[in-house]
Amino acid sequence: MGSSYPHPIIAREGWPFLAIAVVVSIAVSWFSIWWSLPFWFATVFVLQFFRDPPRRVPADPGLVCAPADGRIVMVEKTEDPFANRPALKISVFMNVFNVHSNRAPVDGEVVDVNYYQGGFLNAALDKASLENERNVLQIRMDGGGELTCVQIAGLVARRILCYVKPGDRLVKGERFGFIRFGSRVDLYLTPQARARVTVGDKVYAGATVVAELETGSTGK
């Protein structure tokens, strides 16, 4: 399970990568400062990629927060292919410069978690939602109804991490997973939900409100 802050502002998922980068950079520096510069640049890249700053999470239970940092690439009414019901779909694309921790968009209980193998298309493409490697969470919201949250691997991403299982409880803004090196997260909300973002907007996991739920909506 993820935990609320305080926790390391450099994500634990990055500690091994950062340690290796620092050790290699120091070793090369013994031989040549100039030759070591590319390695130090790589170290800085690893450091910024695995940063995980604290976020101010809105308390209103009717507000849905972004599950990932990045740019909104889709907001549309469609069908949830995993729950077979009408939905409002909101998609967030993460590039290699975004924070890659995934956070719970609402308070609720994890009903189901399913992993699907797939390809590694550019995650900004619409067809990546169903063709790429992905991990699907079904969350029963405290206020009623369910939503689907999908972690999707991208062109460079080769590792989806998910730390929750059915029966676990999530608090909005809590870390539940991580995707390495560029990816996407899709949200399928109840069709009555009202989007608070548009395509092209930048969002921040756990902090940016992406939608507002209709009071008493069941999602059925």
Active centre residues (catalytic): 183
> Which strands make up the sheet holding 194-195, listed edge to edge?
63-65, 209-212, 194-195
C-beta of residue 212 within 8 angstroms of C-beta of residue 63:
yes
Tokens 């967030």 appear where? 92
Beta strands in the chain (DSSP E): 63-65, 70-80, 85-94, 101-103, 108-116, 134-141, 146-153, 160-162, 169-170, 175-179, 183-189, 194-195, 202-203, 209-212
Determine the residue type at 83: A
